[in-house]
Structure formats: C-alpha cells, structure tokens
Amino acid sequence: MSLENPQNQNNINPLGAQPQDTQWQRDTIEKLASSALTEQKKSRRWSNFFKALTFLYLFGILFIAMGWIGGGAAKVGAHTALIEISGVIEAGGEVNADAFINSLKEAYDNKGTKGIILRINSPGGSPVQAGIINDEIKRQRKLHPKVPVYAVVEDICASGGYYIAVAADKIYVNQASIVGSIGVLMDGYGFTETMKKLGVERRLMTAGENKAMLDPFSPVNPKHQQFAQNMLNEIHEQFKTVVRQGRGARLKETPETFSGLFWSGEQSIKLGLADAYGSADFVAREVIKQEDIVDFTYQEDFASRIAKRVGAGASASFGETLAQHLVNAGEVKLH
C-alpha cells in the first residue's frame, strides 16, 4: 500500500523540471532585469555624452576667456577702430607699449578700418613707454596715410598721456577735459632727520662713488642732485620737441606752455594744444564717417587678471602704499 498522496503526484515533473507557473515567473523576471540593464546602459551612455558636452562647453568658455582661441576683433565691414588708453602708462601696467602696439597693428591689419580713435583718459606715466607708443603711431601713420588717427580726450590727458596724443592727426577734447602738464618729475623721500631722532645709524657700503645716488636714508649730495636735474631737463627737452613736432604751427607757444601747467579743454584749443570739441562717437560719425565702432583695445587674459588680483591683495596686506613709494623713489615720470 502506498502512503503517497495521489494529489501530490500530479504536481511532480518526472523529468525534474520546474512547474510551468514557476518557469513563467522566472522568464518574466529575467526579461524585466534584462530590459532594466539595457535601459541603464542607455541612460549611462546619454549621461556620459551630456557630461562630455558640458565639459567641452566649459573648457571652450575658459579658452576664450584666457585668449587662447577667438582672440582679436572679428574681420568686420567698414568701421572706426577704437583703442582705449586709460590709466597710468607704465611697463606691464594698465597702459603699456607692447599691448598698445598689438592693438594698433590689429586695427590697421583689418581692411574694414577707415579711421582710428585713441580714446585717452590718463594722468601720464613712463616717458619711455609713452615715447615708444608715440613713435609707433607716427610709423604706422606713414605706412597707412589713408587711415587717419585721432586722439579723443575724456577726463584727463596729462603729461605722458599728452605725449601720446600729439602723435595723432588731430586732438579732440571736451570743454572740461584736463590737458597739458608738459613736464617731468622725479620724486622720493628723505628720512635722515627721522633716523637721527630714532638714533638709527645708516651703514651703507658701495662700489662706485655714485652708486648710492638718491638714497632716501642718506643726506642730499649736491653733485647727485645736479646730475638728476640735468637728466630731467634733457627728458623735458625731448618732450617739448615731440609736442612741437606733433602740433606744428597749430601750437601757440607761451612761456607757460612747457611749465607743467595744465588747462581745461576749452583753453587747450585756444593754446593750440587741441583742435576741437568732440567725443569718440562724434569723431566716428562726423569726421571719419563710419559710425560703427569696433574696439581693438588689448584685453588682458583671464589668468593674468587673476594673478594680478591675487598679487595686489598680498601686497596690500604688507603696506603696499609705503613700500611702492620707496621702491619707486627716483623713478622718472611724466606726471
């Protein structure tokens, strides 16, 4: 007699296979899992694609910002080229010869340029940098006689700024602009009396009798003082020559013209230091006859701007103002 349940015998697969309803469940689960894996792979591929696209987009922006690609003004149609001369003129500074020369060359190389405006807002600076810029403007004018160069003064065009302006065909001003200051200076400090009060002894050793010239911690040496004055007079004469050559018969020279004084735009026209009133828009529209203005001013790359800001912050932490004046003592400037 068998003790097995006959009902259970119906559920047993003699070949050892799973019941039909269990197999169906497994097949369904496998299909769902396979479909999920396929979708996951597709999703991952699209995710990687968009990540790569975003990565390339961000790097493209970075390269443009740093000036590695897309540099320079586009080759546009007929236009007036604009170059800003804004700030102190000095090597590696806001306005410097290398950057200006690159801007000027780009403006002239663009066939759509019908005239160039130098928009000036500068108190002056290095006579060397101003001189190099002046020479380059005159050289390019000779090479491109059909492309006029006009200086347009905004708030101030003094000393080194005016040194640059006189290289232009004409100078336009606002009636309230500040123009002139045709002179040269060399400034510094003297701390000898302070050292005496503090009981500080200066111990200076040199090889060369004039090596310590203009040392702020030593008494004034009349010989050195006269030497420096002669040098300033020489540079001043160079400045005067450049102004006379640039302005020609338009200059109404008086004893005060080269004294270092400065005048309003209105007075500068009367003295022949400037030609007429006019803004950059006015000169582009009414003089050059090309109202569209394209800016060719050199733009510092992103990395350099960041480096300068970091450096400026560090310098400020250590009393930049006093330190800079001490470092620049004896520097010749057109201010």
Provide the whole-model pTM: 0.71
Q: What is the mean pLDDT of residues 17-32?
A: 65
Half-sphere exposure of 147 (CA within 13 A, CB side): 26
Chain centre distance of CA 321:
22
pLDDT score of 14: 47
Single-letter residue type at 18? Q
Answer yes or no: is 107 within a domain.
yes
Q: What share of the chain is helix, strand, coil (3-state, %, to 5)?
A: 50, 15, 35
Answer yes or no: is 55 within a domain.
no
Total number of domains in the chain: 1
Residue 33 banded pLDDT, cuts 50, 70, 90:
low
pLDDT, tens digit, 9 for 90 and up, residues 121-154: 999 999 999 999 999 999 999 999 999 999 999 9
Answer yes or no: is 242 within a domain.
yes
Residue 163 banded pLDDT, cuts 50, 70, 90:
very high
Answer yes or no: is 319 within a domain.
yes
Q: How many CB atoms lie within 10 A of CB 114?
A: 18
Answer yes or no: is 8 within a domain.
no
pLDDT score of 209: 86
pLDDT score of 183: 92
Which residue spans within 167-285 are E strands per DSSP?
170-173, 178-180, 185-186, 262-264, 276-277
Answer yes or no: is 33 within a domain.
no
Residue range of the domain that includes 100: 79-333
More confident residue, 214 or 150: 150
Answer yes or no: is 32 within a domain.
no
pLDDT score of 21: 61
User: 107 vs 72, 134, 146, 295, 296, CA distance in Å?
Assistant: 10, 16, 13, 9, 6
- For residue 76, report the phi and psi dihedrals to the nearest 5 degrees: -100, 180
Q: What is the mean pLDDT of residues 285-298?
A: 96
Answer yes or no: is 46 within a domain.
no
Number of H helices, E strands in the chain: 11, 10
Q: What are 253-260's contacts with CB under 8 Å, separation 24+?
A: 257/182, 258/182, 258/183, 259/182, 259/183, 260/181, 260/182, 260/183
Q: Can you give the CATH number for the domain in which 318 is found?
A: 3.90.226.10
* Closest C-alpha to 212, from 323, 128, 126, 329: 329
pLDDT at 207 over 50: yes
In this predicted structure, which of 39-48, 107-116, 196-205 has the lowest mean pLDDT? 39-48
Residue 327 banded pLDDT, cuts 50, 70, 90:
very low
pLDDT score of 335: 64
Q: How many CB atoms lie within 10 A of CB 323?
A: 11
- For residue 265, report the phi and psi dihedrals to the nearest 5 degrees: -60, -40
- For residue 256, report the phi and psi dihedrals to the nearest 5 degrees: -95, -5
pLDDT score of 129: 97
Chain centre distance of CA 5:
97
Contacts of 290 (CB under 8 A, 6+ apart): 78, 79, 80, 114, 115, 284
Q: Kindly calculate the radius of gyration of the chain based on its CA atoms and give it in whole angstroms.
A: 37
Q: What is the mean pLDDT of residues 183-202?
A: 84
pLDDT score of 204: 84
Mean residue pLDDT of the chain comes to 81
Single-letter residue type at 6? P
More confident residue, 325 or 75: 75
pLDDT at 217 over 50: yes
Residue 233 banded pLDDT, cuts 50, 70, 90:
very high
